[in-house]
Amino acid sequence: MSGTDRSRAGDWVPQGPFCILVEPQLGENIGASARAMWNFGLNRMRVVAPRDGWPNPKAVAMASGAGRVLEEARLFDTAAAAMADLQVVYATTARPRDLIKRVLTPEAAMGEAAALTAEGARVGLLFGRERTGLETEEIVRASAIVTIPTNPAFASINLAQSVLLLAYEWRRAVAAAEPERLVTNRTEIAPQADVDRLVAHLTARLDAAEFFFPEHKRPAMLANLRNYFYRTPLTDQDIRTLYGVIRALGGRGT
Amino acid sequence: MSGTDRSRAGDWVPQGPFCILVEPQLGENIGASARAMWNFGLNRMRVVAPRDGWPNPKAVAMASGAGRVLEEARLFDTAAAAMADLQVVYATTARPRDLIKRVLTPEAAMGEAAALTAEGARVGLLFGRERTGLETEEIVRASAIVTIPTNPAFASINLAQSVLLLAYEWRRAVAAAEPERLVTNRTEIAPQADVDRLVAHLTARLDAAEFFFPEHKRPAMLANLRNYFYRTPLTDQDIRTLYGVIRALGGRGT
């Protein structure tokens, strides 16, 4: 996939919330965060005082395919500076004990963020240091807290994974307005009349073979059989196949 | 956090869908997948033919804190064997071009999975090889496909991240509310091994009738036919009915 984003450079539009990494230590984590962002269409990164300087070769190596996120990232000295021009910031952290602040799920936060962004707000997501997370002073500046609902017995989750889950929820939120796609590929789902004909055909063949026996059980047996065929959407292809199967099993060849 | 799960060993209850890793190459990815599972309360892993053998020291090192997931993981030779006792399996993969099968979002799939699990179904999540993903034959056996809605310009997402997102949606689903029932009544959904036997039986009968003609089209025809049977959850009742149908159509009466 490397370079795919470059080949579509024309599609590159800075978009979505600013992802602010506060004093990240490992270049690998920065690169993995860039990938996680771009996986879900986010591309505006801000990096606060990275331990190993900037640019960071390990970050670049890890980001392969999402390198442009790093190239266009902005560097800041403090978290406060990185948030200064933003209007609403969500801080990802465990629920703090001492601060009174709204605590949101990732879904709720990104739902809000999508609505605010659509209104033209500049929104940020704040991610803390690998080991020690965010400091109280940094959380204080946030508009709200986002807490990922992990297993209480095993809550530790790494930086890029936090970014991934927030970016995922961002994309879900912006896609929510669009209809959710279910089902299939290009083949058409058959109209029910076609299923009716198939079932009638099969029923006639089974009646001829005295399948529905004893007679008083016929209605229930038939209902079960028909239910089976109506339960899944059958495609045109499926129907052709099933006619063929019925014919073949009846010994009349293809 | 390391060891937190052990200190609460009394809380350890095997729970949630079985996460099946098919031929994972890197121990680090297996370990990271174990962490991702346990982050959201999943702890039943199955590993199919891991490239570097089992147990894998790199997996253990990476899994720190979630080591018990690995200790209790079960090893299988093939994906089919790892699915044999499961009733509903979701395959994580990009939307396939040639198979007709339901394609669900992670949210929709885990919502279904939670409802089915609440009814006592044995559910699996199938994850492919790092580079090449799942093979068609493996996807065919799944009840439905789960596609993570990544950025089309940068869709590549790693194994542990896929596991993380599905596990996250699982936890969201079980936390969401109590089961809304899908599917059936009292009848049990058949384990996949029963479907295997039915399909093998039918295939043999169709081969005898020279159904798969011309020969070079046999693989595609067979894949379509098999896909049809794996696509819907078949109940024990359905399976008995279908054996009866095959027998009746073959003219051997009831």
CA distance B229 to B227: 5
Residue B123 has what pLDDT? 95
Share of chain B above pLDDT 70, in %: 88
Could you tell me the pLDDT band of residue B180, with boundaries at 50, 70 and 90?
very low
A108 or B224, which is more confident: A108
From B103, B151, B161, residue closest to A183, measured CB to CB: B103
All residues of chain A having their beta carbon less than 8 Å from the beta carbon of residue B133 are none
Q: Which chain A residues touch B244 with a CB distance below 8 Å?
A: 211
Token couple for B76: 């299988």
Tally the C-alpha atoms within 13 A of residue B91's C-alpha that lie toward its C-beta: 31
Binary contact (A180, B108; C-beta < 8 A): yes
On the question of pLDDT at A87 being above 70, the answer is yes
pLDDT of residue B236: 83
Please tell me the distance from the alpha carbon of residue A154 to that of residue B103, in angstroms, as a whole number.
31
The distance of B192 to chain A (nearest Cα, Å) reads: 17
Residues of B in contact with A35 (CB under 8 A): 154
Nearest to B100 among A107, A180, A237 (CB): A237
**Which chain B residues contact residue A65 at CB under 8 A?**
154, 156
The DSSP string of B68-109 is HHHHT-EEESSHHHHHTT-SEEEEE-SPPSS----EE-HHHH
Mean pLDDT of B75-92: 95
Does position A201 have pLDDT exceeding 90, yes or no? Answer: yes
The pLDDT score that the predictor gives to residue A125 is 98
Looking at residue B101, its pLDDT comes to 84
The full DSSP string for A123-146 is EEEEE-BTTTB--HHHHHTSSEEE
pLDDT of A39 reads 96
Written as six digits, the tokens of B194 are: 């029963």
Question: Per-residue pLDDT for A85 more than 60?
Answer: yes
Mean per-residue pLDDT, A194-220: 88
**Six-digit token string for B142:** 């799944």
* Lowest pLDDT segment from A117-126, A137-146, A218-227: A218-227
Look at B249 and A206 and tell me if their CB atoms are within 8 Å.
yes
Averaged pLDDT for residues B230-253:
81
pLDDT one-digit tens code per residue, B6-65: 434 446 888 899 999 999 999 999 999 999 999 999 999 999 999 999 999 999 999 999
Q: For B146-166, what is the mean pLDDT? A: 95
Contact A245 B225 (CB under 8 A): yes
How large a percentage of chain A has pLDDT more than 90? 52
Q: Which one has a higher pLDDT value, B254 or B83?
A: B83
* Minimal C-alpha gap between A100 and chain B (Å): 24
At B5, the pLDDT band (50, 70, 90 cuts) reads very low
Say whether A168 sits in a helix, a strand or coil. Answer: helix
Give B-chain residues touching A251 at CB under 8 angstroms: 209, 250-251
Nearest to B249 among A40, A228, A250 (CB): A250
- Given a cut of 90, whether residue A11 has pLDDT beyond it is no
H-only helix segments in chain A: 4-7, 27-39, 57-62, 67-71, 79-83, 106-118, 136-140, 159-175, 192-208, 218-231, 236-249
Lowest mean pLDDT among A98-107, A136-145, B2-11: B2-11
Chain A residues with CB inside 8 Å of B254's CB?
209-211, 213
In this complex, the residue of B4, B65, B210 whose CB is nearest that of residue A254 is: B210
Write down the pLDDT at residue A189: 64
Q: What's the pLDDT at A140? A: 82
pTM of the model: 0.79
What's the mean per-residue pLDDT of chain B?
Answer: 87
Measured between alpha carbons, how far is A110 from A124 in angstroms, rounded to an integer? 11
| Residue type at A239 in one-letter notation | I
